[in-house]
């Protein structure tokens, strides 16, 4: 057998040249991929956003520690949430029909300064935590994804309410899919979190049943089976979640003109009925009443909800100055089409009308002069609470509800799902 060294060298050179094409060629290209911001600058102008970034790094670390400690499929689950987050965030910035929000600038920014690094850890902070907590319920396979979806919504509500008020991100002014709001949070944000989390759960556990050898839900079948599951789950959870908008949201909102609140409440109620129906006849393992007090998941949940209770009493949104990309400033009458899955064509304005806009959670009063026309990178100013006690009651109520829900799951349900089979009868639900 002849060994042609010249061919090997040719392949190596070709591989190196291919890699070089993707590598940044100058500082500007490098900063498109990753750019840093001094924490002192964030602390001075937008302190709550710096605290948010640190909190999610901590929660991300806690969930990772839990995944490593538990073994089995837990680590693969954690990785899959990061992959799912990359897909959702990347597509949201580069598909015009869903490019309707802009993050503030954190210490580490990715993808043309559109993606704060810590936002990737929001996905394990929500979906991983929800999957682990719901696993204690030992629900039937057909109900578990919907329990995960509801649990993610409970984690998200205070995050969304405080996040938009404190300018951690801004929304498109008149996009029809996010126009209906509650405390400036689009109702469809809750629909999105529930549908995407349930779709993620369906794929991550369903693909294991279809592609791998039989075993317990959290028992790992090995690298070569787990890797394609992670990739497929990361890529296709978002499309499957988008499909869930078709049966409820789009017919009611787009065709009949019904407020988004109605479709979201109906959708979440359907989820709740499915979960309640499954939990009416539980497995014996779902009622062991064993506490998991020292789990990193418990610490993550307590830290998560405590943070928003702290913010709603301490933070002063009227003192915030947020700089970064926002909806471009410009012509007050420049409509663009927004296509729906049913073939309808809705409309939104391409630009933020500087003199007449819907977003009361920010203004330009702290600036010496407002942003120029066609500006995409500019500063905005936070606004005071209209009724801070209302915010306090709403946020604290949802945090208390979330803590009670997790106490029931982690402290008053069954043991955490096994990663290895034991002698005796086992169920895979």
Q: What's the confidence (pLDDT) of residue 285?
A: 80
Per-residue pLDDT of the chain in tens (429 residues, 90 and over written 9): 455 666 666 666 666 666 566 666 667 888 899 999 999 999 999 999 999 999 999 999 999 999 999 999 999 999 999 999 999 999 999 888 889 999 999 999 999 999 999 999 999 999 999 999 999 999 999 999 999 999 999 999 999 999 999 999 999 999 999 999 999 999 999 999 999 999 999 999 999 999 998 888 899 999 999 999 999 999 999 999 999 999 999 999 988 999 999 999 999 999 999 999 999 988 878 777 665 556 899 999 999 999 999 999 999 999 999 999 999 999 999 999 888 766 788 899 999 998 888 899 999 999 999 899 999 999 999 999 999 999 999 999 999 999 999 999 998 888 888 888 765 544 555
Q: Does residue 142 contact residue 428 with C-beta atoms inside 8 Å?
A: no
Q: Does residue 155 contact residue 129 with C-beta atoms inside 8 Å?
A: yes
Q: What's the confidence (pLDDT) of residue 249?
A: 93
**From the CB of residue 323, how many other CB atoms can be counted at a distance below 10 Å?**
17
DSSP state of 329: B
Q: Does residue 342 contact residue 356 with C-beta atoms inside 8 Å?
A: no
Q: Does residue 56 contact residue 129 with C-beta atoms inside 8 Å?
A: no
Strand partners, 35: 109
- Residue carrying the six token digits 């989820």: 271
Q: What's the confidence (pLDDT) of residue 322?
A: 96
Q: What's the confidence (pLDDT) of residue 326?
A: 96
- Residue carrying the six token digits 């409440």: 265
Q: What's the confidence (pLDDT) of residue 22?
A: 61
289 Ramachandran zone, left/alpha/beta (phi>0; psi -120 to 50): left
Instruction: Residue count of the chain, please give it.
Output: 429
Q: Which of 304, 110, 302 is nearest to 118 (CA)?
A: 110
Q: What is the DSSP string of 285-300?
A: GGG-----TT-HHHHH
DSSP state of 120: G
DSSP state of 97: G
Element (H, E) at 208: helix 187-211
Q: What's the confidence (pLDDT) of residue 372?
A: 92
Start-to-end Cα distance in the chain: 54
Q: What's the confidence (pLDDT) of residue 278?
A: 94
Q: What's the confidence (pLDDT) of residue 44?
A: 96
- Residue carrying the six token digits 């070569």: 224
Q: How far is CA 240 from CA 111, 192, 300, in A?
A: 24, 11, 28
Q: What's the confidence (pLDDT) of residue 8?
A: 60
């Amino acid at each position: 057998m002849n060994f042609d060294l010249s061919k090997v060298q040719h392949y190596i050179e070709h591989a190196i040249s291919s890699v070089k094409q993707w590598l940044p060629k100058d500082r500007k290209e490098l900063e498109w991929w990753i750019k840093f911001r001094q924490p002192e600058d964030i602390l001075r102008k937008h302190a709550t956003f710096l605290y948010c970034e640190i909190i999610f790094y901590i929660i991300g670390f806690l969930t990772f520690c839990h995944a490593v400690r538990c073994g089995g499929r837990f680590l693969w689950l954690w990785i899959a949430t990061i992959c799912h987050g990359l897909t959702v965030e990347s597509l949201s910035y580069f598909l015009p029909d869903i490019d309707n929000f802009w993050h503030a600038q954190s210490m580490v920014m990715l993808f043309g300064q559109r993606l704060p690094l810590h936002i990737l850890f929001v996905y394990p902070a929500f979906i991983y935590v929800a999957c682990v907590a719901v696993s204690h319920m030992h629900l039937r396979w057909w109900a578990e994804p919907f329990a995960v979806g509801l649990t993610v919504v409970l984690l998200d509500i205070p995050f969304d309410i405080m996040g938009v008020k404190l300018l951690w991100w801004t929304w498109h002014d008149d996009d029809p899919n996010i126009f209906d709001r509650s405390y400036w949070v689009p109702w469809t944000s809750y629909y999105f979190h529930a549908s995407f989390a349930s779709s993620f759960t369906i794929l991550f556990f369903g693909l294991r049943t279809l592609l791998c050898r039989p075993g317990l839900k959290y028992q790992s079948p090995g690298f070569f089976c787990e890797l394609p599951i992670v990739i497929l789950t990361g890529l296709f959870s978002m499309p499957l979640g988008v499909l869930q908008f078709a049966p409820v949201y789009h017919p009611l909102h787009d065709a009949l003109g019904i407020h988004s609140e109605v479709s979201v409440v109906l959708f979440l109620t359907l989820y709740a009925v499915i979960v309640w129906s499954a939990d009416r006849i539980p497995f014996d393992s779902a009622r062991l009443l064993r506490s998991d007090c020292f789990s990193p998941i418990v610490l993550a949940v307590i830290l998560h909800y405590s943070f928003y209770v702290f913010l709603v009493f301490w933070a002063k949104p009227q003192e915030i100055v947020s700089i970064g990309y926002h909806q471009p400033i410009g012509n007050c009458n420049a409509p663009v089409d927004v296509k729906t899955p049913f073939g309808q064509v809705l409309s939104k304005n391409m630009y933020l009308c500087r003199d007449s806009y819907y977003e009361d959670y920010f203004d330009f009063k702290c600036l010496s002069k407002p942003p120029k026309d066609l500006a995409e990178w500019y500063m905005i100013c936070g606004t005071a609470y209209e009724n801070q006690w209302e915010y306090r009651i709403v946020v604290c109520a949802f945090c208390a509800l979330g803590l009670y829900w997790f106490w029931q799951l982690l402290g008053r349900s069954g043991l955490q799902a096994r990663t290895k089979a034991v002698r005796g009868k086992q169920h895979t639900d």
